[in-house]
């Protein structure tokens, strides 16, 4: 066993990157659920984003185009869910599960010719001076642009929900769709926009995986991260900051346990592999253990079908 | 008011709105003026709500025209209506519990100012109209009366010409009603038009300048309600004589159920904790428990029914401790309950009446043997309820969701009564029902007590409790007042028992000049 082989700087730097796909998807799902919609298709949207972004980046040679394509493809998939559940009033749980299965299937079909190819490298954001700082440089100022984007999104979503008019309407729609409708707000429009936004972020998260972290295309490469994102939103009791904490905790423990495995620590590999899931859920359950407060923050109309009857 | 001579502010002509199977509004015409409280009077289902929803732009009429201030008025949405100066306070509050007062107000405004400025304006308006309110509180923590203030202030901040109020007093204490009337009179003096929906006749006679009466979607009359007796108004509204319940039984028997020092937390996010509840109820009597919504009614019913459990000795049935028993064991012993929410709590919405009858009656009616349900018995029970309680439904196999509120409530109450309970607890037995159905349900509760059962009626309808209960008690913030004989109680005493009006600015005496007797006054 050689714990000395673990470099703390690189560990933290890796943690930030490894957490980004989950953080992006979870922020998207947070907005969707705050509008009162339960989309269980996060996993499916992530993997479609991963493959669509990968194909677009390989074919065009531009990672930026890849990210755009990933967001667009996953948003389109999300809107399919939106039309089914919001316009045709299908069951949200069943449709969301179907979306995940559909996404996993179509992504492996689309990605058949792309296994084993390396995508164009997406460069890290090198900031003059800052990136050269000792320790802080590699940790904070030499990350991929998506890492900064995801952090900006946490602040943005928190501010949007708390302080803007349209964020207030979104929360109102999620809280009581009948009352929002009675006041003349468009429940359907608000929810479709939220669903598309959630899809786009899940797609970006998927592409972050296939273009930056791994980077290559393999079937089923999201490996349950979409489900973790969903769980983090619920256990983080729909608060942006707790979702950030949950995502980084999961990413952190994932990276740490890989390092521990490499260092040959005397804990069974199975236990180490399950540790990120266990620890994340445990910590979030404990911090949101005040059931009544968590309940008060939960969108009241979550998962309920709305039909305007006049 | 100086007659009805000035030009109308709002004019409605030949309005028609049909839904599949029912014409909600049929050729409805009326006109209303500035500085007028205009009543829209009618039973449930008479088409009042459809009419005001059309005025507020929530519904598009199939036919007919409206004019506001001499101009054609055809709002496509509530946004249009608000821009034209029409505001509405809803019957079932259109508020968001998890948002604070200022956020709720902002949602009802077209162009809300920044939050800090809005909070100041809320304070200003609430002081001007005597409706104290803290802009930063979560709406989920407010009482029903305070919630209504949020809605009213939301409307007033937009300086409307027309204010629509849909059954505003149904959830208020008498004192809160007095405050509301003061506010409405002040608005009337400012030249606003108030469209006031209600089926409470005394209220309308006390407040309104003109009334348009609706029945089955048609206008059946219009009059100055102050010139008519309540009886005349009722006849125009109902079209038939009201059946009043028979007199109550007078000699209560032994104590059937007693509660001592029961304290219980609520399971719900914005629920009310029950604090030190003690009561006893005797055979043959109806104990009425009044109180404004959200003061612990749901929690109290759960404590009776066994949905929430307590220490064994805190609830005694005769001398059997039942506090720790669940609903099924209590049902077996004869303690039955009918909760307020008919769909989803009292009945499973998508199950048939037969299945719903079996769900509550399987123990007492012997419908289960060796783990199998005897559906024949369940059907017979359901059919007996349907027949004896005049539940209008095509067949016992219809799902609960397909019944109207009144019919489903008759089924829910009948289902329990036919199980011959020793103690029956009901919450809001006639909420939202028309007069005929409500009278039938009250009569059946009286009959049950007459047969020697102890009945507890939790209700927000004071008239109802005065009519049927032998003793009266009130819930206020989870505390139960000492029960008193209903006979001889005055409205003021009841108001004090209900409590809660002490934070209001306008003194009670000022609002009821007809009842207040000054200390130095003497009869002429």
Q: Is B57 on the interface with A (CB under 8 A)?
A: yes
Could you read off the pLDDT of B175-199 as tens digits, one per residue? 788 888 988 999 999 999 999 988 7
Decide if pLDDT at B478 tops 90. Answer: no
For chain A, how many structural domains are there in total? 1
Mean pLDDT over the full length of chain B: 83
Q: Catalogue all structural domains in chain B, each as residue range(s) with its CATH number.
A: 10-238 (3.40.50.300), 255-498 (3.40.50.300)
- CB A172 to CB B94 under 8 A? no
Q: Are B114 and B168 in contact (CB under 8 A)?
A: no
Q: Is B106 on the interface with A (CB under 8 A)?
A: yes
**Residues of chain B contacting A179 with CB distance shorter than 8 Å:** 93-96
pLDDT for B203: 83
- CB B99 to CB A171 under 8 A? yes
Alpha helices in B262-404 (DSSP H): 297-305, 327-333, 353-361, 375-388
pLDDT for A128: 67
pLDDT for A26: 96
pLDDT for A106: 95
Decide if pLDDT at B257 tops 50. Answer: yes
Interface of B with A in 320-349 (CB under 8 A): none
Q: Is A307 on the interface with B (CB under 8 A)?
A: no
On whether residue A287 sits in a domain, the answer given is yes
- CB B98 to CB A183 under 8 A? no
The model's confidence at residue B404, banded by pLDDT at 50, 70 and 90, is: confident
**Residues of chain A contacting B99 with CB distance shorter than 8 Å:** 168, 171-172, 175
**Tokens at A237, concatenated:** 């009791």
Give the residue among A46, A42, A45, A14 at the shortest CA–CA distance from A251: A14
Residue of A nearest to B98 (CA): A296
**CATH number of the domain encompassing residue A152:** 1.10.3470
On whether residue A135 sits in a domain, the answer given is no
Question: Complex ipTM, two decimals?
Answer: 0.78
Most confident of A12-21, A191-200, B425-434, B497-506: A191-200
pLDDT for B193: 94
- CB A292 to CB B269 under 8 A? yes
- CB B90 to CB A292 under 8 A? no
Biggest CA–CA distance in chain B, Å, is 78
On whether residue A202 sits in a domain, the answer given is yes
Spans of chain A below 50 pLDDT = 1, 310
Q: Is B107 on the interface with A (CB under 8 A)?
A: yes
Give the residue among B114, B180, B177 at the shortest CA–CA distance from B153: B180
First to last CA, chain B: 29
**Residues of chain B contacting A184 with CB distance shorter than 8 Å:** 57-58, 77-79, 82
- CB A165 to CB B106 under 8 A? yes
**Residues of chain B contacting A168 with CB distance shorter than 8 Å:** 99, 103, 106-107
- CB A182 to CB B79 under 8 A? no
Q: Is B76 on the interface with A (CB under 8 A)?
A: no
**The pTM is what?**
0.70
Alpha helices in B215-326 (DSSP H): 230-238, 297-305
The model's confidence at residue B7, banded by pLDDT at 50, 70 and 90, is: confident
On whether residue A20 sits in a domain, the answer given is yes
On whether residue A130 sits in a domain, the answer given is no
On whether residue A303 sits in a domain, the answer given is no
Mean pLDDT over the full length of chain A: 88
Q: Are B458 and B301 in contact (CB under 8 A)?
A: yes
On whether residue A262 sits in a domain, the answer given is yes
Domain membership of residue A104 as a residue range? 3-117+142-297
Instruction: Compute and round to an integer the Cα radius of gyration of chain B.
Output: 24
Phi, psi of B156 (to 5 degrees): -65, -30
Q: Are A32 and A96 in contact (CB under 8 A)?
A: no
Helix, strand, coil percentages for chain A (3-state, nearest 5): 75, 0, 25
pLDDT for B510: 37
What single-letter DSSP state applies at residue B458?
Answer: E
Could you read off the pLDDT of A121-154 as tens digits, one per residue? 877 766 666 666 666 666 666 788 899 999 999 9
Decide if pLDDT at B260 tops 50. Answer: yes
pLDDT for B44: 65
On whether residue A309 sits in a domain, the answer given is no
Nearest to B107 among A178, A183, A299 (CB): A183
Nearest to A172 among B96, B115, B270 (CB): B96
Could you read off the pLDDT of B104-145 as tens digits, one per residue? 999 888 788 888 899 999 998 888 887 888 888 888 888 777
What average pLDDT score do residues B401-408 get? 81
């Amino acid at each position: 066993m050689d714990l000395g082989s673990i470099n703390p700087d690189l560990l933290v730097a890796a943690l930030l990157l490894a957490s980004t796909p989950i953080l992006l998807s979870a922020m998207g799902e947070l907005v969707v659920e705050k509008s009162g919609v339960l989309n269980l298709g996060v996993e499916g949207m992530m993997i479609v984003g991963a493959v669509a972004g990968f194909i677009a980046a390989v074919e065009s040679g531009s990672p930026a185009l890849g990210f755009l394509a990933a967001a667009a493809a996953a948003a389109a998939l999300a809107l399919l869910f939106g039309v089914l559940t919001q316009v045709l009033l299908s069951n949200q749980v069943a449709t969301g599960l179907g979306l995940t299965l559909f996404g996993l299937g179509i992504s492996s079909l689309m990605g058949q010719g792309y296994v084993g190819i390396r995508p164009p490298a997406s460069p890290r954001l090198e900031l003059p001076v800052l990136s050269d700082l000792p320790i802080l440089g590699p940790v904070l100022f030499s990350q991929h642009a998506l890492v900064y984007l995801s952090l900006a999104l946490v602040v943005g979503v928190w501010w949007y929900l708390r302080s803007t008019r349209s964020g207030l309407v979104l929360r109102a729609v999620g809280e009581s769709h009948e009352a929002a409708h009675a006041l003349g707000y468009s429940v359907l429009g608000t929810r479709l926009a939220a669903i598309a936004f959630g899809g786009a972020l899940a797609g970006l998260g998927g592409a972050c995986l296939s273009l930056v972290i791994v980077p290559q295309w393999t079937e089923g490469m999201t490996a349950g991260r979409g489900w973790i994102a969903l769980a983090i939103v619920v256990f983080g009791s729909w608060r942006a900051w707790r979702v950030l904490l949950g995502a980084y905790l999961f990413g952190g423990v994932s990276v740490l346990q890989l390092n521990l495995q490499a260092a040959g620590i005397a804990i069974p590999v199975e236990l180490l592999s399950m540790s990120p899931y266990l620890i994340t859920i445990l910590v979030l359950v404990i911090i949101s253990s005040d059931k009544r407060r968590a309940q008060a923050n939960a969108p009241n109309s979550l998962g309920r079908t709305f039909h305007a009857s006049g | 008011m100086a007659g009805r001579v000035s030009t109308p502010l709002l004019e409605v002509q030949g309005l028609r709105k049909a839904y599949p199977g029912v014409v909600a509004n049929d050729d409805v015409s009326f006109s209303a003026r500035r500085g007028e409280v205009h009543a829209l009077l009618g039973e449930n289902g008479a088409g009042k709500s459809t009419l005001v929803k059309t005025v507020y732009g929530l519904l598009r009429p199939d036919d007919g025209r409206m004019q506001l201030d001499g101009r054609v008025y055809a709002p496509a949405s509530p946004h249009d209506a608000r821009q034209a100066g029409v505001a509405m306070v809803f019957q079932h509050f259109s508020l968001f519990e998890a948002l604070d007062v200022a956020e709720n107000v902002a949602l009802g405004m077209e162009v809300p100012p920044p939050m800090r400025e809005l909070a100041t304006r809320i304070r200003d308006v609430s002081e001007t109209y005597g409706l104290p309110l803290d802009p930063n509180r979560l709406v989920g923590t407010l009482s029903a009366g305070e919630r209504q203030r949020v809605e009213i202030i939301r409307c007033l901040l937009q300086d409307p010409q027309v204010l629509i109020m849909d059954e505003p007093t149904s959830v208020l204490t008498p004192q809160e009603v007095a405050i509301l009337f003061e506010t409405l009179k002040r608005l009337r003096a400012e030249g606003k038009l108030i469209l006031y929906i209600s089926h409470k006749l005394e209220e309308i006679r006390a407040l309104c300048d003109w009334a348009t009466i609706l029945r089955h979607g048609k206008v059946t009359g219009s009059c100055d309600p102050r010139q008519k007796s309540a009886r005349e108004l009722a006849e125009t509204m109902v079209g038939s004589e009201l059946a009043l319940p028979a007199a109550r039984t007078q000699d209560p028997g032994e104590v059937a159920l007693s509660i001592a020092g029961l304290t219980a937390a609520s399971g719900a996010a914005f629920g009310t904790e029950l604090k030190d509840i003690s009561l006893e109820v005797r055979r043959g009597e109806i104990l009425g428990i009044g109180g404004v919504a959200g003061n612990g009614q749901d929690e109290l019913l759960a404590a009776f029914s066994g949905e929430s459990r307590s220490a064994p000795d805190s609830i005694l049935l005769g001398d059997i401790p039942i506090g720790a028993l669940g609903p099924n064991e209590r049902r077996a012993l004869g303690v039955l309950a009918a909760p307020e929410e008919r769909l989803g709590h009292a009945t499973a919405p998508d199950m048939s009446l037969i299945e719903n009858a079996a769900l509550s009656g399987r123990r007492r009616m012997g419908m289960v043997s060796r783990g199998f349900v005897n559906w024949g018995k369940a059907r017979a029970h359901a059919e007996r309820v349907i027949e004896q309680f005049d539940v209008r439904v095509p067949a016992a196999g219809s799902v609960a969701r397909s019944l109207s509120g009144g019919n489903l409530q008759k089924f829910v109450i009948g289902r329990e009564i036919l199980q011959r309970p020793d103690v029956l607890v009901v919450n809001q037995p006639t909420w939202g029902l028309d007069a005929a159905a409500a009278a039938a349900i009250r009569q059946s509760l009286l009959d049950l007590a007459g047969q020697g059962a102890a009945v507890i009626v939790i209700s927000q309808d004071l008239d109802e409790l005065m009519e049927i209960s032998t003793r009266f008690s009130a819930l206020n913030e989870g505390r139960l007042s000492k029960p008193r004989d209903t006979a001889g109680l005055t409205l003021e005493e009841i108001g004090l028992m209900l409590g809660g009006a002490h934070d209001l600015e306008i003194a009670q005496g000022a609002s009821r000049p007809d009842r207040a007797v000054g200390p130095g006054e003497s009869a002429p």
